[in-house]
Amino acid sequence: MAEFKGARLPHVKGFGQWSSQASQPSRTSPKQEGKALRRRVGRASHERFTVDDGRPDPVEAVEESNRTRLPELTPIRMGRMAASPFAFLRGAAGLMAYDLARTPVTGIGAQICGDAHAANFGLYADARGGLVMDLNDFDETAHGPWEWDVKRLAASLVLAGREAGASEDVCREAAFDAVGAYRRTMRLLTKLPALDAWNAIADEELVSHTDARDLLGTLESVSEKARHNTSARFAAKSTERVRDEAGHEGRRFVDAPPVLRRIPDAEAAEVAFALGEYVGTLSEDRLPLVARYAIQDVAFRVVGTGSVGLRSYVVLLLDHRGEPLVLQVKEARPSALLPHLPTAGFAVPRVAHEGHRVVLGQKRMQVVSDFLLGWTTVAGRAFQVRQFRNRKGSVDPAALAADQIDDYGRMTGALLARAHAHSADPRLIAGYVGKNDELDTAMAAFAVAYANRTEADHTELVRAVKEGRVAAEAGV
């Protein structure tokens, strides 16, 4: 018998191409490549932030972001953004992207949230009703510099801490700890088998992994509220029983303007009809489930801070027992980051459908995503579709005690690292961020400087509102 000396297996497309660098012949490891990037972009350079001479006027930038939104709702958006500097930051992702595009970047790309501020992390239910904590807003998601998400998170923690009345040292420490947790988590992921790293930091381990024990009571309280935040509870509060001409009983939404309002029959029919396209975007194994529900009613519902003015509907469905399921059909516009990616050296991707972009970005970043996540088109506009009130809960970072804000920073920093590691090779980022806290210190300094800039921008918006140049409705 001939001696078997082994054979080289064929290359299979999709395997062995973990990072964008994997297809490039190299004698160095991804970790060494990451280390080498420090010579071109020093970690201390991430402290740098200067206001560019061509920077848009903040009020004009916000007003420009209102273009194509429903004009009758933009005063609500302006009122919410004028409430505090942290609220301003939440609605100004495009303006911050302009600024970030003029800061140092390593060139390492990842699927980024694009709006990774501290209030965009939260709890939601998996397919079996268990609670998961992760990033939970992906309207601005894109392939871009990982640093942008980390810096936006750090700056938002400083602003949230200031709003909560924390000292300046505590605010800086929260930003420092968030970046540190990101760095340490990314390094941890490189030491795990790929499959373990993908699912790392299970939610029951999150508190101990990030040493966030001071936050435990708050998380338990948020979790308890989230368990009751369901379609059934929303439907019980927001709908009423009705009978049609044939005597069949059903439910319909009740007007609660300006947040929830009924819409003309023709508009409701367009949304309902679009759910046919949505069903086609679901995995085939979901189809028998959605087939057991019938559409009952459609209403318009205002959401968020940055999202106010977008077209957003809630659709009430009932099963054979009359139990409700509520879907949200939310307009998906092009990411506010897109005009600024080329300045940072990243190509603008071709997007066939903005709803698909949002859904794909969400699935790339989360460990567990809404199993009814999909997309559709209504009247020529792109929409994402997801469950509404599927046990969602969130921590208000601006309401945390001083001894909790740094815990929250570490927790969100760790979650952000896990999310980035799904699309970027963690070995590459870990090689760059390193063992010491040089990057933590630099990005914390950036966060303080950018928080100061945001406070000045917020002051400009408040002045414009007081002078009557910008219409705003407070407390809505």
Q: Using one digit for the tens of pLDDT, what is the confidence trace for 360-377?
A: 999 999 999 999 999 999
Reported as a pLDDT band with limits 50, 70 and 90, residue 476 is confident
pLDDT confidence bin for 292, thresholds 50/70/90: very high
pLDDT of residue 188: 95
Task: Give buried/exposed letters for 376-395 (b at 16+ CB in 10 A, else e).
Answer: bbbeebbbbbbbbbbbbbbb
- Predicted confidence band at 129 (pLDDT cuts at 50, 70, 90)? confident
Average pLDDT over every residue of 392-420: 95
> What is the percentage of the chain residues whose pLDDT exceeds 90?
83
Mean pLDDT for the stretch of residues 236-252: 87
Query: Residue ranges of the domains in the chain?
Result: 30-226+393-466, 231-337+340-387
- Model confidence at 83, in pLDDT bands (50, 70, 90)? very high
As a whole number, the mean pLDDT across the chain is 93
**410-437 confidence digits (pLDDT tens):** 999 999 999 999 999 999 999 999 999 9
User: Do residues 154 and 447 lie in contact, with contact meaning Cβ atoms separated by under 8 Å?
Assistant: yes
- Give pLDDT, residue 8: 62
Closest CA to 34 of 210, 179, 186: 186
Enumerate the H helices of 164-215 as residue ranges.
Answer: 168-190, 194-198, 203-209
Check residue 20 and give its pLDDT.
44
Quote the pLDDT of residue 4.
44
Query: What band does 21 get if pLDDT is binned at 50, 70 and 90?
Result: very low
Residue 326 phi, psi (nearest 5): -115, 130
Residue whose C-alpha is closest to residue 382's, from 350, 358, 348: 358
Q: How many CB atoms lie within 10 A of CB 426?
A: 30
Q: What is the pLDDT of residue 17?
A: 60
Q: Which of 57, 19, 125 is nearest to 460 (CA)?
A: 57
pLDDT at 266: 97
pLDDT interval class at 2 (50, 70, 90):
very low
CA 53 to CA 55: how far, in whole Å?
A: 6
Report the 10 Å Cβ neighbour count for 29: 12
pLDDT for residue 1: 44
Predicted confidence at residue 291, as pLDDT, reads 97
Report helix angle 93-100 to 438-466, nearest 10: 130
Range of lowest pLDDT (7-21, 88-102, 120-134): 7-21
- 23: pLDDT strictly greater than 50: no
| Per-residue pLDDT at 402 exceeds 70 | yes
Rounding to the nearest 10 degrees, give the CA dihedral for residues 250, 254, 260, 262. Answer: 70
Kind plus residue range of the DSSP H or E element containing 418: helix 402-420
Which pLDDT does position 7 carry in this prediction? 55
